[in-house]
Amino acid sequence: MKAISIIIVTSNSSKYIESCLDSILIQDFKDYEIIVADNGSKDNTIAIIKNRYSSIILIENLKNFGPCKARNQGIAIANGKFILCLDHDVKLLDNFLTNVYKAIETRDNIGAAGPKILMSDGKIIYSAGIYFSYLWRFYDVGDAKIDMPAFGHKKYVAGISAAAVIYRREALETIKQDGEYFDEDFFYLFEDVDVSWRLRKMGWKILYTPYAACLHVSGKSRKKDKFSQYLSMRNRYLAIIKNESLFSLPKLFVIFFIYDLWRNMFMLITNARYFLRACYETAGLSKKMFKKRFI
């Protein structure tokens, strides 16, 4: 058994995949395997991997199944005690694997740990964990802020961004539902919130460790496209319905009328097609999500 199984999801990722894989291969920590799950790339991503990285385990999907299903495919065949999920455009900095391994391995109650994720310039924070607000909004801690000593301390957090996160395999098994670790109904967006939420409900701790750091090379788009806006709306509600305490759910209606109603009206005006689709699918999936809360 390997210490770490590294799972990377690709989809037309030729621009970034070499930088990502090379940053892994030069790490001082060597007890790992790399699994790439490709979601129907039409560029030369597959050729790059096969020609340059023959030792990598490659899953070739004929179409884009989304990050959730692809990660699940990787985890299903992984041989590691710990599962490290990386976006294809992440570049690991020195001693990343050693430090992230130490962070999660030292205490048995840590189900997930995440590094300091920086923008490509290495000066601006991409994510230092995920924060759950009282309005049930989910934010990357430190998003777009200059890196400073305040982000230099280990601490327990509500969640970790799926861009770079290591999970204890044992912890993932405790939240597995219908053969899925990442809920494939989410497709992408808020799937990391859902996994983190379920882990904490099962008693696992989630740790942010700045001693492991990486770059999110492509950065973060501040202008969401209409499809992402739809998924963001839909998946936020589904995560709440699936995971929030039954006694707290009535608060959702209060928050909706005070906070969400105006945001949703704006989306209806500017993105009517996807707003209606989000409403329809949220209603359709709510019953399914409610059932999934009993894990």
What does the block give as tokens for 182? 């990442």
Per-residue pLDDT at 256 exceeds 80:
no
Among 32-41, 71-80, 162-171, 260-269, where is mean pLDDT lowest?
260-269
What does pTM read for this prediction?
Answer: 0.91
pLDDT band at 173 (very low <50, low <70, confident <90, very high): very high
pLDDT at 126 over 80: yes
Give 257's DSSP letter.
I
Q: Is residue 160 scored above 70 in pLDDT?
A: yes
Its CATH class, for the domain covering 2-216, is alpha beta
Quick one: pLDDT at residue 222? Answer: 47
Burial degree of 131 (CB within 10 A; 0-12, 13-18, 19+): middle
Whether 67 has a pLDDT exceeding 80, the answer reads yes
Summarised one tens digit per residue, pLDDT across range 262-292 is 677 777 788 788 778 887 778 777 777 766 6
The proportion of the chain whose per-residue pLDDT surpasses 90, expressed as a percent, equals 71
Q: Which pLDDT score is estimated for 66?
A: 95
Contact call for residues 192 and 160 (beta carbons, < 8 A): yes
Q: Decide which of 150 and 282 is more confident.
A: 150
Q: Is the pLDDT of residue 35 over 90?
A: yes
Decide if pLDDT at 164 tops 80: yes
Res 219: pLDDT:
67
- Model confidence over 69-100: pLDDT tens digits? 999 999 999 999 999 999 999 999 999 999 99
Phi, psi of 263 (to 5 degrees): -65, -40
Question: How far, CA to CA in Å, does 250 sit from each of 42, 190, 247, 289?
Answer: 46, 22, 7, 17
Contact between residue 37 and residue 56 where contact means Cβ atoms under 8 Å apart: no
Q: What is the pLDDT of residue 294?
A: 59
Domain ranges of the chain: 2-216, 226-292
Q: Write down the pLDDT at residue 36.
A: 98
